[in-house]
Structure 1
Amino acid sequence: MATVRLSDVQFDEDVYLSYLQEDRTDRNAYIASGVAVTSNELQARANGEGGLTSIPFWKDLDASSENNSSDDPTQKATPDKIGTGKMAARKIFVNNGWQAANLVSSLIGNEDPMRQIASRTSAYWEQRFAARVQAITLGLFNQNDAGSGDMIFDASTEDGANATADNKWSFDGFVDARATMGESADNLALLAVHPDTLTQMIKQEKIEFVTDSQTGVRIPFYNDYRVVEDKKLPVIAGTTSGFRYVSVLYRQGVIGYGEGSPRRPVAIEFDESAGNGAGIETLWERKEWLMHPEGYKFTDASVADLSPTIAEFETAANWSREFERENVGIAFFVHN
């Protein structure tokens, strides 16, 4: 248990200076860029019963054959049929609490640690949401890497310190990764890269910055793909030396999500006897999320508790692809 105490607060007893909030450097761009979108179906299921939910889907018609027409009455055509399948998603039940001693507010004047904590919880949950998107992405990569590898183009070398231009980020490699989507490649629109990779791209003068007219934020683009800079993308140590980076191409909306309604999403807890009677205040927040990549089944093969952890979302055995490759809007480019 962590409690904000007087020793954690820096202030001048005579002239109190306003506190400065240190914003976190990692930002959630997945919702803003459209990778993760609210799904009406998942929203409804997020408020339903149980922790694991099945999502049925229609399979496409088989377009591999046809019948040649005939005037022979004895020739009978056999009709085809349409099939169904099921995706499966696991609900996420998470919470966190933040605590402060009442005496802190009394001694430092107008500043209130709990008010400051409450002003930052929204940003905190955005980052936890992004961490789940990142874990799902890594889980799909690990599952495909251990299997067919048909979603991955790998140009890297295990001797990263001696990588050539062919092993590093390149337009050719980008096109080859895109090509793993086949004729559905046009659906890809977003590109997530590690900051080290973005540095390579800027040095190659391949990044175009577009200023958002409403926010003034400069958004990077690469060949009309919006670029998301993400320091949590996989960085794999080379067997011999150096590192291998995993960059990800996404279709907009490939990850759907819904948000459930915990019985008490926000609660304030008071312990009046703590602090030898001065009192302790705790803010609790609870979230119920249902997040799922289109085309996959969460197998639940390796989950210890009620909700999958970040590490369990990253586990290859917990994922099974149910859609044909071209219908899954994610592609991976591995490079040095």
Structure 2
Amino acid sequence: MGVTTQLKDVFVGDYYQTLDPVNSPEKTAVYQSGIVVRNPKLDEVANNGQGSSTISYWQDLDADEEPNASTDNPDQKGKVGKAQQGEMQARTLYLNKGYSVADLTSELANSEPMQHIRNRFGKYWERQWQRRLLSSARGVIASNIINNGGDMVIDAGATISASAFQDAAYTAGDTADQFSAMGVHSTIMNQMVKKDLIEYIKDSEGRIILATYLGRPIFMDDGLTFGKGQYLSLIFGTGAFGYGEGSPANPVELERDASGGNGGGIETLWERKTYILHPAGFSWKGGTSTNETPTYADYAKPENWARVFDRKQVPFAAVISGTETP
């Protein structure tokens, strides 16, 4: 009778971390679209162990200040401007997940469920990563409606239209060309398909690998609702999110419980992540404790975000569609 080789027999933490997972944030179409940019400064913040940190930035020079007209009068002094700094709060996320397998399960299944878990962990984190991204985008749009008069949002009425997306992009004025990707609910995607607004990128075998609108990648997420019976379509610009990774003390760990399963034995594979996914132009106003990492719902709350950039500098826009029901 053969003996099942378990993960504990081959697990070496340092080696495990060098293996590429099936998927990771860096490999997603969201990341490749350019709306997420990894920032070494955010890596430093993610590693400071503070939970939340203040990030200073230089504001752009005020182009509304007219330059001086030169003269030959030595006593006439030109007016000078000054560079000003602003600041925002960025939130660090401390996350972990473990999956367990009973020894008996491996024996009865005559397979390697723990290896399957290892192979799929990357996909799990990718999905978590994208949920955080879209939740924070929902939060900043909701904050914009409440605090900035909705100057980043277009109400399209009952159904979506190409003109609504165009109008949303031009809420950014002459920086409207900054937008490079979109996120929509499946209902909105269906409406766009029916109106022939979608183009598809295919691989060499003709399989669809990416849906696009005007060359922009489109991602579906059925969490993109807004009130009852309404949908929120999001438009992102290049660098819409800053991304930073920290280094947990024990990024991966295999836990062995010999007494689990009534003595049959249980293995649990743990992965831990520390990272920042911060929307450009907004400051985090929520909790700062390292023991209270915000949930998806926290990220989507308008009271947890405040815009600190001028509208044109913020790479977000949105379209609300559908009919609100009481």
TM-score scaled by length of structure 1:
0.81
Q: What amino acid is aligned across from residue 135 of structure 2 in structure 1? A: A
Q: What amino acid is aligned across from residue 84 of structure 1 in structure 2? A: Q
Distance 1:44 1:201 in 2: 41
Match of 1:118 in 2: 118
Q: What amino acid is aligned across from residue 184 of structure 1 in structure 2? A: T
Q: Out of 170, 173, 181, which is 1:190 matched to?
A: 181
The residue matched to 2:269 in structure 1 has which SS?
strand
The residue matched to 1:210 in structure 2 has which SS?
strand
Match of 1:88 in 2: 89
| Unaligned segments of structure 2, at least 5 residues | 1-26
The residue matched to 2:217 in structure 1 has which SS?
strand
Find out whether 1:264 has 2:250 as its counterpart: yes
The residue matched to 2:227 in structure 1 has which SS?
strand
Q: 1:106 to 1:223 in 2, by over 3 A?
A: closer
Find out whether 1:79 has 2:80 as its counterpart: yes
Distance 1:296 1:130 in 2: 18
- Which moved further from structure 2: 71-80 or 259-268? 71-80
Match of 1:108 in 2: 109
| Offset, 1:215 | 9.6
The residue matched to 1:173 in structure 2 has which SS?
helix
Q: What root-mean-square deviation, in Å, do the aligned CA atoms of Structure 1 and Structure 2 show? A: 2.2
| Offset, 1:154 | 1.2
Q: Percent identity?
A: 37
| Offset, 1:280 | 1.4
Distance 1:65 1:45 in 2: 35
| Offset, 1:174 | 1.3
Distance 2:137 2:285 in 1: 15
Q: 1:323 to 1:259 in 2, by over 3 A?
A: same
Match of 1:23 in 2: none
Match of 2:231 in 1: 245
2:52, 2:288 within 8 Å by CA — same for their partners in 1? Answer: no
Q: 1:215 to 1:45 in 2, by over 3 A?
A: farther
Q: Which runs of 4+ in 1 moved over 6 A?
A: none
Match of 1:130 in 2: 130
| Offset, 1:252 | 2.1
Distance 2:319 2:95 in 1: 32
2:226, 2:320 within 8 Å by CA — same for their partners in 1? Answer: no
Match of 2:262 in 1: 276
How many residue pairs match? The answer is 294
Q: 1:60 to 1:142 in 2, by over 3 A?
A: same
Find out whether 1:307 has 2:307 as its counterpart: no
The residue matched to 1:135 in structure 2 has which SS?
helix
TM-score scaled by length of structure 2:
0.83
Listed one character per residue, the Cα deviations across residues 138-163 of structure 1 (whole Å, up to 9, x for unaligned) are 1101101112211111122xxxxxx4
Match of 1:287 in 2: 273
